[in-house]
Amino acid sequence: MDVVLLVVSVLLIAIVLLQSNKATDGAGIITGGNQELFQNMKERGVELFISRLTLILGIAFFVISFVLFLI
């Protein structure tokens, strides 16, 4: 079970790094430089797949961690 958690963790890190940057600069968020950050933009194609895979891997990570905690 520890190996599964390790694999899910590595995959989750890789998928998060593959996601597109919606905020190009951290200071732009604070100063309001990135106006498109909070607009409702639909994800399509590969972005949608990566977003859903991130959600699935995140849920799997928490479930496996919780199960290992209980054992």
Q: What are the average pLDDT values for consecutive 10-residue runs of the chain, which has 71 residues?
A: 93 88 55 57 78 93 95 88
Question: What is the reported pLDDT for 46?
Answer: 82
Dihedral sign from CA coordinates of 62, 67, 70, 71: negative
Instruction: Tell which residue, 66, 69, 61, 67, has the closest CA to residue 12.
Output: 61
Q: What is the CA radius of gyration of the chain?
A: 16
Question: What is the reported pLDDT for 37?
Answer: 55
Q: Residue 24: which residues within 8 A CB-CB, separation 6 or more? A: 34
What are the helix (H) ranges across 19-45?
26-31
